[in-house]
Amino acid sequence: MSTGVVCADDVGANFQGFKIQSEGFKYRYYIYQIVNKKTIEIEKHGERSASYEDFCENMPDDDCRYGLIDLEFTSTDGRPTSKLVFITWNPDTASIRNKMLYSGSKESIKAALNGVGIHINCTDRSELDFESSILPTLKKFA
Protein backbone atom coordinates (compact mmCIF):
# COMPACT_ATOMS: atom_id res chain seq x y z
CA MET A 1 0.00 0.00 0.00
CA SER A 2 1.47 3.34 -1.00
CA THR A 3 0.57 6.42 1.02
CA GLY A 4 2.57 8.98 -0.96
CA VAL A 5 4.83 9.62 2.04
CA VAL A 6 8.48 10.14 1.05
CA CYS A 7 11.72 10.30 3.00
CA ALA A 8 13.49 13.60 3.52
CA ASP A 9 16.82 13.75 1.69
CA ASP A 10 18.86 13.68 4.90
CA VAL A 11 17.39 10.31 5.98
CA GLY A 12 19.33 8.34 3.35
CA ALA A 13 22.42 10.55 3.54
CA ASN A 14 22.66 10.25 7.33
CA PHE A 15 22.13 6.50 7.10
CA GLN A 16 25.16 6.09 4.84
CA GLY A 17 27.37 7.79 7.44
CA PHE A 18 25.69 6.00 10.34
CA LYS A 19 26.16 2.47 9.02
CA ILE A 20 29.93 2.93 8.73
CA GLN A 21 30.10 5.18 11.82
CA SER A 22 31.94 7.91 9.94
CA GLU A 23 32.84 11.17 11.68
CA GLY A 24 29.74 13.18 12.51
CA PHE A 25 27.48 10.10 12.47
CA LYS A 26 28.71 8.17 15.51
CA TYR A 27 25.30 7.64 17.06
CA ARG A 28 23.58 4.68 18.71
CA TYR A 29 20.17 5.24 17.11
CA TYR A 30 17.82 7.37 15.04
CA ILE A 31 14.09 7.85 15.56
CA TYR A 32 12.00 8.93 12.59
CA GLN A 33 8.53 10.45 12.38
CA ILE A 34 6.10 11.30 9.61
CA VAL A 35 5.61 15.07 9.42
CA ASN A 36 2.40 16.56 7.95
CA LYS A 37 1.44 13.14 6.55
CA LYS A 38 3.95 13.74 3.74
CA THR A 39 7.57 13.33 4.79
CA ILE A 40 9.57 10.93 6.96
CA GLU A 41 12.10 13.00 8.91
CA ILE A 42 14.67 12.39 11.61
CA GLU A 43 13.05 13.28 14.93
CA LYS A 44 16.05 12.57 17.16
CA HIS A 45 19.22 10.56 17.53
CA GLY A 46 21.04 9.07 20.48
CA GLU A 47 24.70 9.56 21.23
CA ARG A 48 26.94 6.52 20.90
CA SER A 49 26.94 6.12 24.69
CA ALA A 50 23.12 5.81 24.75
CA SER A 51 21.55 2.46 25.57
CA TYR A 52 18.73 0.39 24.12
CA GLU A 53 16.65 1.52 27.10
CA ASP A 54 17.23 5.16 26.09
CA PHE A 55 16.01 4.28 22.61
CA CYS A 56 12.84 2.68 23.99
CA GLU A 57 12.14 5.62 26.31
CA ASN A 58 12.09 7.90 23.25
CA MET A 59 9.27 5.92 21.66
CA PRO A 60 5.98 7.66 22.52
CA ASP A 61 3.26 5.66 24.26
CA ASP A 62 0.45 6.86 22.01
CA ASP A 63 1.99 7.56 18.61
CA CYS A 64 3.89 5.63 15.94
CA ARG A 65 7.56 5.96 14.99
CA TYR A 66 10.29 4.22 13.06
CA GLY A 67 13.60 3.50 14.72
CA LEU A 68 17.04 2.40 13.59
CA ILE A 69 19.49 1.21 16.22
CA ASP A 70 22.97 -0.30 16.25
CA LEU A 71 22.68 -3.11 18.80
CA GLU A 72 25.70 -4.82 20.32
CA PHE A 73 25.25 -8.31 21.73
CA THR A 74 26.97 -11.66 22.17
CA SER A 75 26.16 -14.32 19.57
CA THR A 76 25.14 -17.85 20.51
CA ASP A 77 28.73 -19.01 19.97
CA GLY A 78 30.10 -16.31 22.30
CA ARG A 79 31.32 -13.72 19.79
CA PRO A 80 30.70 -10.03 20.45
CA THR A 81 28.90 -8.59 17.43
CA SER A 82 26.53 -5.81 16.41
CA LYS A 83 23.63 -5.47 13.99
CA LEU A 84 21.62 -2.59 12.60
CA VAL A 85 17.96 -3.15 13.46
CA PHE A 86 14.96 -1.32 11.99
CA ILE A 87 12.00 -1.19 14.38
CA THR A 88 8.50 -0.13 13.46
CA TRP A 89 6.80 1.18 16.60
CA ASN A 90 3.06 0.97 16.00
CA PRO A 91 1.48 0.90 19.51
CA ASP A 92 -2.06 -0.31 20.03
CA THR A 93 -2.82 3.01 21.77
CA ALA A 94 -2.05 5.10 18.65
CA SER A 95 -4.85 6.39 16.46
CA ILE A 96 -5.99 4.07 13.69
CA ARG A 97 -5.18 6.75 11.11
CA ASN A 98 -1.55 6.99 12.28
CA LYS A 99 -1.15 3.22 12.50
CA MET A 100 -2.35 2.89 8.90
CA LEU A 101 -0.14 5.78 7.75
CA TYR A 102 3.00 4.32 9.33
CA SER A 103 2.23 0.77 8.18
CA GLY A 104 1.58 1.93 4.63
CA SER A 105 4.67 4.15 4.49
CA LYS A 106 7.19 1.65 5.83
CA GLU A 107 8.47 0.63 2.40
CA SER A 108 9.53 4.21 1.71
CA ILE A 109 11.89 4.37 4.68
CA LYS A 110 13.09 0.80 4.18
CA ALA A 111 14.20 1.80 0.68
CA ALA A 112 16.15 4.77 2.10
CA LEU A 113 17.80 2.52 4.71
CA ASN A 114 19.11 0.06 2.15
CA GLY A 115 21.16 -2.70 3.74
CA VAL A 116 19.38 -3.10 7.07
CA GLY A 117 18.55 -6.80 7.26
CA ILE A 118 16.64 -7.04 10.53
CA HIS A 119 13.14 -5.56 10.64
CA ILE A 120 11.01 -5.88 13.78
CA ASN A 121 7.43 -4.72 14.28
CA CYS A 122 6.40 -3.77 17.83
CA THR A 123 2.93 -2.88 19.05
CA ASP A 124 3.46 -2.64 22.81
CA ARG A 125 6.24 -2.22 25.36
CA SER A 126 6.57 -5.98 25.96
CA GLU A 127 7.54 -6.44 22.32
CA LEU A 128 10.34 -3.89 22.81
CA ASP A 129 11.79 -5.93 25.70
CA PHE A 130 15.42 -6.64 24.79
CA GLU A 131 15.93 -9.99 26.52
CA SER A 132 12.63 -11.66 25.64
CA SER A 133 11.81 -10.20 22.21
CA ILE A 134 14.68 -8.40 20.49
CA LEU A 135 17.71 -10.52 21.45
CA PRO A 136 16.22 -13.87 20.27
CA THR A 137 15.51 -12.27 16.87
CA LEU A 138 19.04 -10.83 16.67
CA LYS A 139 20.64 -14.20 17.43
CA LYS A 140 18.95 -15.72 14.39
CA PHE A 141 21.04 -13.39 12.23
CA ALA A 142 24.36 -13.62 14.11
Q: How far apart are CA 67 and CA 28, in angstroms?
A: 11
Q: What is the pLDDT, as a whole number, of residue 46?
A: 96
Backbone angles phi, psi at 123, to 5 degrees: -120, -10
Q: How many CB atoms lie within 10 A of CB 68?
A: 25
Return all residues near 28 (Cβ < 8 A) that are at least 6 apart.
Answer: 45, 46, 47, 48, 49, 50, 51, 54, 55, 69, 70
pTM given for the model? 0.93
Mean pLDDT along residues 9-38: 94
Share of the chain above pLDDT 90, in %: 86
Considering the chain, what is the average pLDDT of its residues?
A: 94
Q: What is the pLDDT, as a whole number, of residue 1?
A: 54
| Cα-based distances in Å from 122 to 16, 19, 63, 138 | 25, 23, 12, 15
55-114 pLDDT tens trace: 999 999 999 999 999 999 998 888 999 999 999 999 999 999 999 999 999 999 999 999
Name the β-bridge partners of 74. 80
Q: What is the pLDDT, as a whole number, of residue 5?
A: 95
